[in-house]
Amino acid sequence: MFHLFTLQGKRIDAQLEHFPKNVRVHHSKSSNRTKKFEEGNSSSQGSGIGSSRNYGADAYKEASRMENEKSPVFHVSGIMSSPVFTVSPEISVNDAWLQFLEKKVHHMPVVTDDGKIVGIVSDRDLLKKLIINDGVVESSRDVTVAEIMSTDVIATTPMTDIRRIAKVMLDNHIGAMPVVNPDGSIAGIVTRSDILFAIIHQPELKLWA
């Protein structure tokens, strides 16, 4: 099951087969590992598998072709990061950047005081508004997270198979997806790199068979 959250609240609840493609959501340009952040170089993930955009695209295309093949279900609850670090829409991009550095993440859901998901923001979004030298913010524009966040957020549920998530990520060109409980509260977050990591270390997925 997938959900689409907007500023007005949850707009769509749909299974993969009925979920719209090319939703206007946060676009990530390369593979990011939420749990690992290289301070001062948000796009650097080193060489090899994790840094290859072609590799990631091929893996997701292969994952999408596995929909009709009988294989064990692998729930996203087994690979998602939890608890989830969130950010308020009201804080400045400078303060948000400091939170990203402290928590060592690349994406954060934007959540209001009452727990409502209203957006998602990445370190790249923040860097567009900051001037940083040697990891220190030298200049920042007077804007808040609410002004730069992506306001349509695709989310999923803990029991969703990771291959179905991979297909939605591929169809919509997104790099991170919140995982929500039935009541709408955030249970976790999963990234493209989390899925690739699982594919590599879970032979039963048979993605290259």
pLDDT at 140: 67
Query: Could you report the per-residue pLDDT of 10-34, keeping only the tens digit for each?
Result: 666 767 666 666 665 544 343 333 3
pLDDT values of the chain reduced to their tens digit, one per residue, 209 residues? 788 877 766 666 767 666 666 665 544 343 333 333 333 433 333 333 344 455 556 655 555 555 555 567 789 999 999 999 999 999 999 999 999 999 999 999 999 999 899 999 999 999 888 776 666 666 667 889 999 999 889 999 999 999 899 999 999 999 999 999 988 899 999 999 999 888 888 766 654 33
pLDDT at 120: 95
pLDDT at 129: 84
Q: How much of the chain is in helix, strand and coil states, percent to nearest 5?
A: 30, 25, 45
How many CB atoms neighbour CB 82 within 10 A? 12
Strands (E), the chain: 2-6, 9-14, 107-111, 117-122, 130-133, 136-140, 153-156, 176-180, 186-191
pLDDT at 64: 56
Do the Cβ atoms of 66 and 170 come closer than 8 Å? no
pLDDT at 71: 60
Give the total number of structural domains in the chain: 1
Question: What's the start-to-end Cα distance of the chain, in Å?
Answer: 27
pLDDT at 4: 82
The structure tokens 């952040």 sit at: 37
Query: Which residue type, as a one-letter code, is found at position 66?
Result: M
CA distance 145 to 126: 8
CA distance 29 to 98: 22
Q: What's 114's domain CATH number? A: 3.10.580.10
Which residue range(s) make up the domain with 107? 2-205
Answer whether 0.75 is exceeded by the pTM.
Answer: no
